[in-house]
Copies of this chain bind each other. A is one copy, B any other.
Amino acid sequence: MMNPLTTNATPDRIMDAAGELFAENGFRQTSIRDICAHANVNIAAVNYHFRDKEGLYEAILQRSFDKCVNCYPIVATDGPPEERLAIFVRMFLLRILGSGQPAWHGKLMAAEMANPTAAFSKLVEQAARPTHNVLLGIVRDLMHTTENTYQVEAVALSIMGQCLFYKHSRPVIELLGIPIPVTQSEIESLAEHITQFSLDGISGVRAVVAHA
């Protein structure tokens, strides 16, 4: 668990241990004592390096976000919107389901989405809004409009919902006996499904709009 080549500085060891425990048991359930025991550091180290239990949480959240944003950038690109949607969905799924980040990241995010802390609101602005805006641009192009109409937003949420469902409701999905995609190819299969499903869904909505 610890890379023998690099000494893994104390703050990093704390963040690694804490992230896992926070995700497993929740913020309150997890005690600083536990974290320090797992990280093999003194109990005062958290307060020294992060000032607070909450400070530690914020640091973990931020680092987690930074990693995933850097790893799977989602930016506005050129090209036909159908292709851009495919890329978007693929990147987004890799970002939230891929192995590029610790396994506990998902649970942490799901918990935050359901019950966001102050620390999270900042991250929404940093990451969620830009991502959402990129998606809105793609959907607008697909629907041949330049405005964020109710339809555009509803479609964007439909797409996001399909993706995030696997992350937020993972425990329930597993309880229902459905396997969660984890490997690169499984995730890409899912991306293809959601892309296709959504492109067709949009074509129907567009038709309705055209009628109206």
Contact = CB atoms under 8 A, between A and B. Distances in A.
A13 to B, nearest CB: 23
Interface in A138-195: 151, 153-155, 157-158, 160-166, 168-173, 175-176, 178, 190, 193-194
A106 to B, nearest CB: 9
Contacts of A204: 196-197, 199-201, 203
Interface stretch (A34-42, A59-67, A94-102, A112-120): A112-120
A8 interface: no
Nearest to A175: B124
Residue among A129, A170, A200 having the largest count of chain B Cβ atoms under 10 Å: A200
A29 interface: yes
A165 B157 contact: yes
Contacts of A190: 154
A107 interface: yes
A169 B113 contact: yes
A175 B116 contact: yes
B110 A168 contact: yes
B113 A171 contact: yes
30 contacts: A26-B28, A28-B28, A107-B114, A110-B168, A114-B171, A116-B172, A125-B175, A128-B175, A132-B176, A151-B193, A154-B197, A158-B162, A158-B194, A161-B162, A161-B163, A161-B169, A162-B162, A164-B165, A168-B168, A168-B169, A196-B205, A196-B208, A197-B201, A197-B202, A197-B205, A200-B200, A200-B202, A200-B203, A200-B204, A200-B205
**8 tightest A-B contacts by CB?**
A200-B204, A161-B165, A110-B114, A28-B28, A197-B201, A201-B201, A161-B162, A161-B161
